[in-house]
Amino acid sequence: MERMKVWQLVRSIDITGSIILIICVTLLIMGLNFGGNVYPWGHPLIIISLVASLVLAVILVRYERHVPRPVLPIELMAKDPRASIIFGNFFAAMSVHTMLFNAPLYFQAVKLTSPTASGLRLVASSIAVTISSVSTGFMINWTRRLKPFVMVGVCCMVIGGCAAASMDIDTSQPLSMVCISFSSLGQGFSFPALMVSILATSEKQDQAVATTTLGLWRSLGAVMGVAVSSWIFQNGLIYHLNKNVTGIEKSHIIALVRKSIGTIAHLDPIHRREGMFYFFRVPTHYDLANNHSVTTSYSAALQLTFVSAAFWGVIVLILLGRVPLPRWGERPSQSL
């Protein structure tokens, strides 16, 4: 009898919906990452991937409406305030992971630091998210208020994206670390408050589903943040490299510096007027003016990418700024 109950529980899992969701997201990521980067946007593979992803998204929504235990509860995501909390959480995750994924690239490609050193530059972000998240928990418990922490956190994300977008080759290392850490500071304020908010706006019997749905959309936001920011960066980088790099070996040099960031640091400024390219101390005669044009191209592409992080934060402000959130401990029926 016990085995039968377990089997019935397994059968109730929305495996079909999960498979559709995985394929849908995979096709979307493949289309975004390959489009304009590996293949032109008009390539059949790109068109098929994006169209198939859109079709599967429509099918998934229609399918989830009729499943007893859906992987994406449509009713939960159709009514405020929980809908705004869930989708705001999604775009907040996109903003944060846009910053985290591309920040090391800034230090390696623009500031020409090693991978280890670039990782150490994120220590400030780790400290910021730790302090803000722990303090947010104590402050929520003390004030019983949720929305102020959400809004402060999202504002920090917007400020962090704008601050990072202002960084260039001449920005000092300490200042760049501070600019990038704003986004993590906002993550520490907003994410715990959003998790508590979804609990505060849900009845007791719905809290488990609401929490897992919020976690799922946060994970999707992280994946999409990396995918979309990679798409923005790669296409922006191609544009600026084609604009800034000159010489008879232009195409080869562009392919080389896009393939490996480590090659940028080996451009010898002493021999750049002679068109010398040094890699592992082996001189090769490529017609590359200098490494400044390459780092400038990387910097411009990253600035555009960081602007997108601020843009996702603005969307979160729009979604959550208009939604009233209850005090922690109030029943949903009392506050909404």
Q: Tens digits of per-residue pLDDT, 150-190?
A: 899 999 999 999 999 998 888 888 898 888 999 999 989 98
Across 316-330, average pLDDT = 81
Q: Are the CB atoms for 205 and 73 separated by under 8 Å? A: no
Q: At residue 271, does pLDDT exceed 70?
A: no
pLDDT per position as a tens digit, 48-94: 988 998 998 898 888 878 877 777 788 777 788 888 899 999 999 99
**Interatomic CA distance for residues 332 and 199, integer angstroms:** 9
**Omega before 81 cis (within 30°)?**
yes
**Interatomic CA distance for residues 102 and 242, integer angstroms:** 21
DSSP-assigned beta bridge partners for residue 276: 285
Amino acid at 161: G
Q: Determine the pLDDT at residue 244.
A: 74
The 10 Å Cβ neighbour count of residue 313 is: 30
* Nearest by Cα to 157 from 283, 32, 309: 309
pTM greater than 0.85:
no
Alpha helices in the chain (DSSP H): 2-11, 15-34, 44-64, 82-105, 115-120, 123-143, 147-165, 173-200, 207-244, 250-259, 292-321, 332-335
The Cβ-side half-sphere exposure at 87, using a 13 Å CA radius, reads 18
Q: At residue 286, does pLDDT exceed 60?
A: no
Q: Determine the pLDDT at residue 90.
A: 93
Q: Token pair for residue 178?
A: 């501070």
3 state DSSP class of 285 = strand
Q: 298 exposed, middle or buried (CB, 10 Å; 0-12, 13-18, 19+)? A: buried
Q: Are the CB atoms for 140 and 328 separated by under 8 Å? A: yes
CA angle 121, 151, 314 (to 5 degrees): 75
Who has greater pLDDT, 164 or 209? Answer: 164
Q: Are the CB atoms for 163 and 176 separated by under 8 Å? A: no
Q: Determine the pLDDT at residue 265.
A: 63
Q: Above pLDDT 90, what percent of the chain? A: 15
* Nearest by Cα to 226 from 33, 36, 41, 50: 33
Amino acid at 171: T
Query: In the chain, what is the straight-line distance between the N-terminal and C-terminal CA atoms, in Å?
Result: 43
Please list, in sequence order, all residues whose beta carbon lies within 8 angstroms of the beta carbon of residue 319, skipping any fewer than 6 positions away. 84, 87, 88, 91
**Interatomic CA distance for residues 46 and 42, integer angstroms:** 7
Please list, in sequence order, all residues whose beta carbon lies within 8 angstroms of the beta carbon of residue 32, skipping any fewer than 6 positions away. 50, 227, 228, 230, 231
